[in-house]
Amino acid sequence: MGKKCISVFFLAVLAGLAISIGGCIFLVTENKILGALFFTVGLYIIVLNGLFLYTGKIGYLATVEDKIGYIPVLLFTWLGNLAGTWLGAMGMQCSKLSFLSEVAAQVSAAKLEQSVISALILAIFCGVLMFVAVDGFKETKNPLILFLCVSVFILCGFEHCIANMFYFSMGHAWSGKAFGYILLMTLGNSIGGMLIPQVKRMADKYVA
């Protein structure tokens, strides 16, 4: 399990870097629709290379047999995503894209000004879409579902805990409150991610 978790961590760091690329595209693009569409490049990198993204893995906790053994995988995935988004933000701040810190700060402030209930609900809806995107691609290999689901959650303003790790790092917005909101959004993404597979699993017991 130790070597597996280390492997998961580094694959998760790469996933965090991929989300950083998506976040950078979103921040640098003035057109909101194009920014939401091209953000999906980050998730596409992840699914094509088998990287570990927390919001793409949490939904399977509802169906995996060894739930206890899967929890460390999720934990190291989350930590790796955090490290990867931080590294991505630090790298961009050392480049000519450092001006995006001001944009990220504005994005982060808006996310932290909302109520706890708002953040949780929006994170749940994001979790649903992320599971549909990742599981849909896994089943069909059609990237269209990735672009549709990710674009929708961004345009609706749903909260993605890993993307927000990047925005908070890029915008120098980390604080006790920010960390608390990341944990809250992680909870919401987890609930949303497990919602469909859990309900389907329960329904399968009674509908045969």
For residue range 109-154, what is the model confidence (pLDDT) as tens digits? 999 999 999 999 999 999 999 999 999 999 999 999 999 999 999 9
Give the SS3 label for residue 184: helix
| DSSP 8-state symbol, 114 | S
- Quickly count helices (H) and strands (E) in the chain: 9, 0
**Domain boundaries in the chain?**
2-206
- Tokens representing 26 are 């979103």
The backbone torsions φ and ψ at residue 51, rounded to the nearest 5 degrees and listed phi first, read -80, 170
Which residue in this structure is represented by tokens 């790790």? 165
Which pTM value belongs to this model? 0.95
3-class secondary-structure state, position 166: helix
Looking at the domain 2-206, which fold is it? Glycerol uptake facilitator protein (1.20.1080)
Q: What is the pLDDT of residues 176-198, one digit of tens each?
A: 999 999 999 999 999 999 999 99
Q: For residue 125, give both structure tokens.
A: 């809806």
Residue 149, both tokens? 């689901």
> Which of left, alpha, beta for 175 (phi over 0: left; psi -120 to 50: alpha)?
beta
Q: Are 74 and 58 in contact (CB under 8 A)?
A: yes
Cα 33–Cα 44–Cα 91 angle in degrees, nearest 5: 85
Give the integer Cα–Cα distance in Å for 167 and 23: 7
**76, two tokens:** 């190291």
pLDDT in tens, 28-85: 999 999 999 999 999 999 999 999 999 999 999 999 999 999 999 999 999 999 999 9
